[in-house]
Chains A and B, each alone.
Chain A
């Protein structure tokens, strides 16, 4: 599903987002884009005003990112959710926002980081994006079995990517993440 950047084309970058990706690359921090942007790469369109990025650094290194961004942004400190933290960055000029998910420590997140893929995303440029299987699994977890929209997205992701999806990986992690029944339900 993912495609290489098209040489010669000039995508309309949203500045704060490109600045964040440039800063991450300068700092050598691995990341992947998830949620609505990743969904659009894999076939599902959802309106969203912000971009969610998973980083493999913990909150102690968040300052390096904000320092690299300089004074063009206002930043909310990471909020601790136990196994991960979430911080928000808003560009002073445009009010565009990026949410960064810091140091998810589980094996699933480590696996998702290994399986990310490069995609040329309008508004962002060439960025690392969550694989369809990892996006689907994350959405199943986020849904907590109750979010109709998340579950509908999951069903759609499976239908659209049925020819290429890694069933073995999906089912194995669904079991470990406790969402096997949800997966069966949407996959009927």
Chain B
């Protein structure tokens, strides 16, 4: 397997970060990914919180099994009907570096 010198440098930087800093960076990347997913979903102008939830879950978790997704959507619809769920909380863009 041929090694990319740029990749080797990136590996060295990441390895040198230490567990805590790497973990914080992983969280930051995840937060940015979530924010991007929200922006994509907003651009699609979903008609309801349930539709927004479906679009969001599909973007965040593209490998989630369809039957698992559908089962979760049924539970969210039930919670919404019972007044216990009003949509996923939107991440604060200012909290994501």
Chain B residue at minimal CB-CB distance from A45: B14
The minimal Cβ–Cβ distance linking B27 to chain A, given in whole angstroms, is 5
B9 on interface, CB distance cutoff 8 Å: no
Chain B residue at minimal CB-CB distance from A121: B23
Please count the residue pairs between chain A and chain B whose beta carbons lie under 8 angstroms apart in the complex: 113
Number of B residues near A (Cβ < 8 Å) is 37
Number of A residues near B (Cβ < 8 Å) is 46
Contact check, A75 vs B57: say whether CB atoms are below 8 A apart.
no
Chain A residue at minimal CB-CB distance from B78: A74
A143 on interface, CB distance cutoff 8 Å: no
Mask, A28-40, CB within 8 Å of B = 1, is 0000000011001
* C-alpha spacing A14/B91, complex, angstroms: 13
Contact check, A43 vs B14: say whether CB atoms are below 8 A apart.
yes
CB-CB under 8 A for A76 and B33, given A122-B23, A186-B1:
no
Chain A residue at minimal CB-CB distance from B18: A3
B94 on interface, CB distance cutoff 8 Å: no
